[in-house]
Amino acid sequence: MNASLKWFTGHREMLLVVVLLVISVLFGLLNPSFFSAAHLFGILRSSVVLGIMALGVMTVLITNGIDISVSATAVVAMYVTTVTLNAVGFHGTVLVAILLGCLIGAVLGLVNGILVAWLKLPAMIVTIGTLTLYRGGLLAFVGTERIRELPAQMAEFGQLQLIQVSSGGRLASLHVSVLVWIVLAIGLAVVLRDTWWGRYLYAIGDNQEAASRMGVKPDRIRISAFVLSGTMAGLAGIFYASMNRAADPSTLVGFEMSVLAAVVLGGANVTGGRGTVLGTVLGVLLITLVGNSLVLVGIPSAWQQLFVGVFLLFGVVMPAIRDRRNRIRRGVVVAD
Amino acid sequence: MQSRFGPRAHTWSLIGLVLGLTVLLSALAPQTFPTVGNLQSMAVQIAPLGLLALCIAITFLIGGIDLSCVNVANGSAVIAALVMNALAPSTGAGPATAIGLVAALCTGLLAGLVNGLVIAMLRVHPIPTTLGTSAVFLGIFTGITNGSTVFGQGTLGSLSTSTVALLPLSFWVFLLAVAALMVVTQRTRLGFRLYAIGESTRVSRFARMRVERDQVIAYMISGLFASLAGILLFAGLNAANVSFGSSYLTQALLIAVIAGMDPYGGSGRVGMVALAAIAAQELQTGLNMVLGGWSGSAFASDFAWGVLLIAILGFSRWLGRRTARRRREQATAALVADGAQGS
């Protein structure tokens, strides 16, 4: 029993798969409509925004940083893009909107990265500052109104479905952004595993001193991780606006908590050097699955926030318990 | 070999900042700023914010951070409101208020205990821990209130309306809290140990200090002050909601940083928080005056808080680097002088 428990704590992805399956079966027994194609597609659809942001935040977490400002970055990217494209009366392809959103996100991420690298302070404090700054700046200087008239191509993109299945008289559809998410996840996994840049991320997160003696430039790598995180957040923002058919500058408040919960649950450690794409994706799925299904099994949605918190705390505490056990076994617990 | 920007210089520059802002704002708005009414309403606003900054300050002191303080404050306010509303019909307003206050303070202490235990016993880093407990507290109180606002009985209104020696009662609560924390950190053994832990947890452990216990105490103090801030917020608005004051965390961090608390622990004096909070509130009032009736003024001041936080972090970083370089140069010069004498 104890041995299998230990194996599970060491293999986060396996544990998450098991938890996902158990929860699915439980919810399915409580309410059979859980297993309808509409609900499952709905879960995937609502995972996308969280999932894309989580990929970026995980990259930052690997380098021993943290990015709290992703929700504000996403909102700024989405709103500024919408306002700009509407102002110039743009009717071309949606790719321009996506590129513009990514660019805005990348710039905001670059600001975060430079500040963190330059101030040499916990990224937490810096990104709390930029979170307030970005959102306050957007609401004060760009606008507070919810825009319902998206650029035509963005609105169309929001309706672009990958698969449509009719189930129980209703049309269940899978949005195309799910495919984008999967491609991005696979791409990031390959990059993290097979490129110098990916290995450097883990190196500076695990031991910055050793990495910099090896010739890695920690600041540059760290800034690039923040840029990636901002870019992903910008992309997620555009997807969010398209799928909700509106750009609202005061949405996604507190969304960064869910993102962090998903990433930490997926096994990325806030002390750096750890984290896998598969774990993050599973964490995102778990959080969305529980969040979307609570209402189905009769729990008021007001309690959804509590589950996010419990998952986040669980993801933080579990590796700490394992580390502590290891330290005690090695006999260094007194000093460290 | 005193640093140019030592503690005394810092105290004087903060006092100078407060006085300078006072003079500047009085000159800009001689009719509205230096009036008793305006200063009193500023004092009412400083109190909860200053208490939250104390939460950050005491946890910065031991090299930690309490990101859950705003949610604990709101949660305590919710608990106070709920308890008072539940008891008022049966026990009358007076006892109900008293029990509500005790319940709120207990909520804060309990939250601090949870934070402290997880951080000290499991040795999890305080940033993720308090982020996690913060989300849990938010979830619990959102669930209890269903996300809606709880209105009170109006029995605490006197905290922000009645004055003692021209200062509102809530401001006295803040001043007392600062004074108590100053005494604890500067004059007691506990305070000495807190500085030692902030300087180096490892060395403190080797010195056979009971680091875990002191860390828990620090987080419980933080929780207590957070619940006090919640009570003051509740008293001022006669309403409690889990999502009040979302920009308070940035402002509290800013105040703690202006007050000279080192996020990495071991240095800074909590008394400076009072001055820093006054300066921050003056800045806020000044911003409101400049922005005037502009509809986006609340958001613009959020923006300004973010800019200020980063600018001041950058400034202190630059100062720190300069001081370190000076020290190095002086040390080198002294070594060279020694060498010259020796030969």
Q: CA-nearest residue of chain A to B201?
A: A336
Residues 299-318 in A contacting B (C-alpha not used; CB under 8 Å): 300, 302-310, 312-313, 315-317
pLDDT of residue B109: 97
pLDDT tens per residue, range B57-70: 999 999 999 999 99
Each of the 336 residues of chain A gets a pLDDT tens digit; together they read: 456 555 655 677 888 898 899 988 988 888 888 888 888 888 898 899 999 999 999 999 999 899 999 999 999 999 999 999 988 887 778 899 999 999 999 999 999 999 998 888 788 889 989 999 999 999 988 888 888 888 888 888 888 887 777 766 667 778 888 999 999 999 999 999 999 999 999 999 988 888 888 888 899 999 999 999 999 999 999 999 998 888 898 888 888 888 998 998 888 887 788 889 999 999 999 999 988 888 787 888 788 888 888 888 888 888 778 777 777 777 655 544
Note whether B314 contacts A: Cβ–Cβ < 8 A: yes
The beta-carbon neighbor of B300 closest among A121, A140, A336 is: A140
Residues of chain B contacting residue A134, judged by C-beta atoms under 8 Å apart:
306
Confidence of residue B293 (pLDDT cuts 50, 70, 90): low
Give the closest-approach CA distance of B206 to chain A in angstroms.
7
A260/B131 CB distance under 8 A: yes
Model confidence at B312: pLDDT above 60: yes
pLDDT at position A335: 47
Q: Residue B298: which H helix or E strand, with range?
A: helix B297-342
Q: Which residues pair with A161 in a beta bridge?
A: A175
Q: pTM score, two decimals? A: 0.87
**Four-residue CA torsion sign, A136, A141, A147, A152:** negative
pLDDT of res. A1: 45
- B3, pLDDT greater than 60: no
Amino acid at A269: N
Q: Model ipTM? A: 0.82
> pLDDT tens across B175-202, in order?
999 999 999 999 999 999 999 999 988 8
Q: Which two tokens stand for residue B49?
A: 């914010």
Verify whether the Cβ–Cβ distance A141 to B246 is below 8 Å. no
Q: Cβ–Cβ of B296/A317 closer than 8 Å?
A: no
d(Cα A166, Cα A37) in Å, to the nearest integer?
8
Which of the 8 DSSP states describes residue B148? P
